[in-house]
Structure 1
């Protein structure tokens, strides 16, 4: 069973003038395979920084602490090594890649992750099956990655990657952002398939509880001022929806 362990993680953002600003201030979190951990909190609390730091975004500098995946030191790995080790990041704002078709992108990613190209027959079958489940227009596969995609199409494409790449741990950064109710249901069903069929561990970053109606977390963590300030089960998310985050702002200071 895979496990991601984050211990006393401190990290800073590297600003345009090369100075740094502390964002993460001692994060402790353990995610096991098959678990859903919802990370909730106000804007600017450091939730996206946590996901980006784990994934190896060069904009963020680790100051101290550790991140391990199945005992391996994630912080010593390059971004591609982290992906091959089993980490996956669904970005809050997926980027466009002009000149690269979605079809080529997906197969190249799968080849890089597995170390060998998938059988074309099996790959085509798996890709079509996942696209049908996610209600993705077959024509999208020949379009350039995220170029001209709607918000919903971009998020469905992220979950398509999740299903095809089969990571051990998935970091989902506001996957519900910009989705209407129908798209939210489809995307949530994709995440749930990764949970049940692939036993993927999920770190789900969100502001709102609506996605938690479809993806049920075992654990809810409240993030404020760069660290976890409260933890609980699904009932904590319900309380946050009623009360908001004001009660945690004084705790974070």
Structure 2
């Protein structure tokens, strides 16, 4: 069983006015097979947590630790974090002109595993994952995220996750911009990986609709860079009914 531990994490982001503190002491532990939903209002630090775990250079960890099976993630480069088993599905995936989806996926898999996958097996794996995500085979010949719709970008993120099979996946608002059908298909992809690989999931979202498809074991409410409350799935239902007002009032 793998474990991701976040201990007393403080993070600042560089702005035109200098460093701005965002996270102010976050503690969180995720184990293999667990799904943790991170919820909270805009500006509460949810995406900052995601990018700090992944190693985005704009986010400076000023205090605390991120440990993967006891190893200090903060001492790893971005590619080392990926090889160690970390994966980030971005809220706003970037375009990569001139690089086809098929080349991108195989290059990524080779970098993660340290060797190229057998072509016959790999071709079947890619086709199977694309079929399950209702993706047209022609998708593999397109440049990464170039001209993709919002739903296509999010399906591509889940396609990567299914093929790379990380230990821990951080899904940063994967539900944003998806219609009902796309949301269901993307959620099914996450659940397939959970069923077959025991991946630990950090699911960042504003809304409870994706939690109807991906059932969380734990829910954490972020407010002003801290975990204001945590509990089981019933906490998400309470947030849906009451909103964040009571947390925002106490944070002032």
- TM class by shorter chain equals over 0.9
- Any idea what the Cα deviations from partners look like across 1:139-169, whole Å, max 9, x if unmatched? 0100000000000000000000000000000
Alpha-carbon contact 1:224-1:248 (below 8 Å) kept = yes
Distance 2:74 2:251 in 1: 26
Alignment gaps of 5+ in structure 1: none
Q: CA deviation at 1:90?
A: 0.1
- Any idea what the Cα deviations from partners look like across 1:66-94, whole Å, max 9, x if unmatched? 00001110000000000000000000000
Alignment match, 1:44: 43
Alignment match, 2:129: 130
Q: CA deviation at 1:14?
A: 1.3
Distance 1:96 1:33 in 2: 31
Distance 1:195 1:237 in 2: 20
1:104-183, aligned counterparts within 5 Å?
104-183=103-182
Q: TM-score, normalised by structure 1?
A: 0.98
Q: Secondary structure at the match of 1:99?
A: strand
Alignment match, 1:217: 216
Distance 1:227 1:94 in 2: 26
Q: Secondary structure at the match of 1:20?
A: strand
Alignment match, 1:82: 81
In the alignment, is residue 64 of structure 1 matched against residue 24 of structure 2?
Answer: no
Q: CA deviation at 1:184?
A: 0.4
Alignment gaps of 5+ in structure 2: none
Q: Secondary structure at the match of 2:178?
A: coil
Distance 1:198 1:161 in 2: 14
Q: CA deviation at 1:194?
A: 1.2
Distance 1:94 1:130 in 2: 19
Distance 1:122 1:158 in 2: 21
Q: Secondary structure at the match of 2:171?
A: strand
Q: CA deviation at 1:127?
A: 0.4
In the alignment, is residue 23 of structure 1 matched against residue 19 of structure 2?
Answer: no
Distance 1:251 1:54 in 2: 27
Alignment match, 2:185: 186
Q: CA deviation at 1:16?
A: 4.0
Q: Secondary structure at the match of 1:190?
A: helix
Q: CA deviation at 1:251?
A: 2.6
Q: TM-score, normalised by structure 2?
A: 0.99
Distance 1:162 1:187 in 2: 11
Distance 2:160 2:11 in 1: 28
Alpha-carbon contact 1:91-1:173 (below 8 Å) kept = yes
Q: CA deviation at 1:15?
A: 1.7
Distance 2:74 2:192 in 1: 29
